[in-house]
Structure 1
Amino acid sequence: MHDKTFVEIGASDGVLMSFTSWLEYNNNWRGLLLEPNPQSFDALRMRRKSAAAKTCVSPEATVKDLLWSPNVEPELPDLFQKVARARTTLKKFVSEEDYDAGSFSPVQCFPLPWLLKAWDPSVKTIHLLVIHTMGGEMNILETVPKNLDIIMLVIRFNTPVDRSQIESVVNDYNLIPFKEEIKPKNFLIFISTRVVFHA
């Protein structure tokens, strides 16, 4: 599939753990990358040509929140530093005993419908929606406009309760579980009920 659209929420550095990098480079997909961590966002802008915003996604309009970023030892190999930065999340999803293992910085958050409209108001179909935020995925999913046509959803879950809540909500978007053998750990994959795969 070529020339399709994606939205990746929690895009990290745009390459490591990215679900969309290959699609952009090899299949000419275009999309919107959302990443609140300043260091990861700077790396993302150097590596990717898709539109990007240094922001978090929130159900509430223009909420200023605190972003927790883990402390990263500069002597660690580059890969380990990137993996550590990928654990960045909002303060409300960090246990108090982990506060000292990182630092807090203010971050601006916007509802997903606002970000989609600012990116491209003509987009009515998202061929791949990725929600990978290390907490808050369910809150974000509930803000996805019901009239948005989603072909495939990849979403992270953290607990069995998260998984159950996500599975109960996806029906509102005419999505069903993807039954193939591809099952990344702690991720759920759903496809549109309109999609038919031919052998």
Structure 2
Amino acid sequence: MQIYGGKMTPRNIISIFTLLGGTILISLLFGLRVSVSYEKNKRQSQNTEMESVQGVFYKPMELNEEDLRANSCYEPKMFKPITIKQNRTSGFNFRAATMELNGGKITMDDDRLVSLIRNYWIYNPSHLQYKFYDNKVDYSSGQSALVDSLLGNKEKGFYIECGAFDGESQSSSLLFERFRKWQGLLIEPDPLSYSRLKLKHRMAFTINACISPYPYPVMMKLERRGLYSRMLKSSSDGSDHKDVQCFPLHSILLAMNLKAVDFLSIDVGGLELNVLQTMPLKSTNINVISVSCDYCSEKNETDIKKLLLDHGYSVVSKLENFKMLSKDLIFQRN
């Protein structure tokens, strides 16, 4: 047998295998280099993509012309919010009609009350660009992150925040709207805080009213203290008071035809127990409830726990933020 015109000798065989081995080794090294280069380019591409995404989400814009004290934080909205159909009659004095129902101390499920809330008091979510003062993940004192964990990072849920203030400061719902694609309802009684809330263009239903501590609609006094405002059963001298309309939370749920709520946050300045007592908790499907206990006495806190334990809830945690002077009880349905 001849190879390249010569005879096959042991030396030829060794030369051939040496040549083949060297070729294979060079090929493997080249392939490894290409693979390493590909992974490096891939990581660089991913990093560039991540930086570009962060740049889009957190790009600072010019001052909000509607409120020069606020820097607008530009952020694209993650989804298109649903809305409810409303039948509003032009020129109808819905506030006078509501006052008339207040005087009658009508039941929470009265059709006239439910219709007024749905068609005239509730406003649909905004489709406009967000406008925030700040850019955080969790604006709350820890409730949002804890609830997010309890619900397994659930997406497309529904929240209700009673005492939403300006829709951003200490918000317990904003994390879910921005990062989990939730919709919800923001309830704020103070007209000034509510006007600031509307400027944020939240993808949530909103209502400028308070939650009634009674099983009927009523006008109450709001003691205006900014983030620490609270509803009063009787007015006190020397305080800035504002008359505000209050509805039972159950009436608002009926007006929105809500069958289930993933997260309910209640911060009504000391009347949390009274609000909970007006709700049909056994027939209302609410998964997690956060109850502000800033104004709770020891007895009041015990009564809140007993009420919710009797209705099938367990105490998950008690969150205290000494800097914000806040205390929140977190409950989850068994």
* CA-CA distance at 1:26 after TM superposition: 1.1
Q: Is the 8 A contact 1:93 1:136 kept in 2?
A: no
- 2:296 matches 1:154: no
Q: Map 1:118-197 to 2 at 5 A.
A: 118=255, 120-121=256-257, 123-146=258-281, 147-157=283-293, 158-179=296-317, 183-185=319-321, 186-193=327-334
Match of 2:191 among 33, 38, 46: 38
User: 2 CA distance for matches of 1:173 and 1:153?
Assistant: 12
Distance 1:93 1:184, change over 3 A: farther
Q: CA–CA distance in 2 between the matches of 1:150 and 1:62?
A: 22
State the partner residue of 1:23.
176
CA distance in structure 2 between the partners assigned to 1:132 and 1:93 by the alignment: 19
Q: Return the alpha-carbon distance in structure 1 between the equivalents of residues 219 and 234 of structure 2.
A: 15
Q: Distance in 2 between matches of 1:93 and 1:18?
A: 28
Give 1:63-82 correspondences, 5 Å limit: 63-70=218-225
Q: Report SS of the residue matched to 2:196.
A: helix
Q: How many residues were matched structurally? A: 171
Q: CA offsets per residue over residues 126-163 of structure 1, 9 Å max, x none? A: 11010111110001111222211111110012221111
Percent identity, aligned pairs only, is 26
Structure 2: which 5+ residue stretches go unaligned? 1-153, 322-326
* Matched letter for residue 43 of structure 1: R
Structure with the bigger percentage of helix: 2
TM-score normalised per structure 1 = 0.80
Deviations 1:28-80 (A, max 9, x none): 1111111101111111112222001111111242201111113xxxxxxxxxx
Partner of 2:204: 50
State how far apart, in whole Å, the 2-side matches of 1:50 and 1:93 are. 32
Give secondary structure in 2 for the equivalent of 1:161: helix
- How big is the alpha-carbon RMSD for the aligned residues of Structure 1 and Structure 2? 1.7
TM-score, normalised relative to structure 2: 0.49
Distance 1:35 1:172 in 2: 29
Residue of structure 1 equivalent to 2:165? 12
Q: Distance in 2 between matches of 1:127 and 1:156?
A: 17
Aligned mates of 2:288, 2:314 — CA distance in 1: 9
Show structure 1 runs of 4+ deviating over 4 A. Answer: none
Aligned match of 2:217: 62
**How far did 1:14 drift?**
1.1
Contact 2:215 / 2:278 at 8 angstroms: preserved in 1? no
Q: Contact between 1:91 and 1:104, CA under 8 Å: does it hold in 2?
A: no
- 1:128 and 1:151 in contact (8 A); partners too: yes
Q: Higher strand proportion, which one?
A: 1
Which residue number corresponds to residue 82 of structure 1? none
> Aligned equivalents of 2:250 and 2:186: distance in 1?
14
